[in-house]
Amino acid sequence: MMKGTTTTTWYLQMLRPPDKTELQELPGHCTVMHVDEPTRSYYLYLYTSVGRPYQWYNRLMMQAEELESVIGSESTDIWVLFFKGVPAGFVEFNTSENNETEMVYFGLSCEFTGRKLGLPFLHWCISKAWERKIDRLWLHTCDLDHKAALGIYKKAGFEVYDEDTVFQQRPDPEDDPYLLLPW
pLDDT at position 182 is: 53
Q: Judging by beta carbons within 10 Å of its beta carbon (0-12, 13-18, 19+), is residue 29 exposed, middle or buried?
A: exposed
For residue 105, which of 151, 173, 58 has the smallest C-alpha distance?
58
Residues of the chain predicted below pLDDT 50:
183
What pLDDT score was predicted for residue 121? 97
Model pLDDT for residues 146-166, shown as the tens digit of each residue: 999 999 999 999 999 999 997
pLDDT attached to residue 54: 85
Q: Which CATH superfamily is domain 2-180 in?
A: Gcn5-related N-acetyltransferase (GNAT) (3.40.630.30)
Reported pTM: 0.89
Q: Are 77 and 30 in contact (CB under 8 A)?
A: no
At 13 the pLDDT is: 98
Exposed/middle/buried for residue 10 (C-beta within 10 Å: 0-12, 13-18, 19+): buried
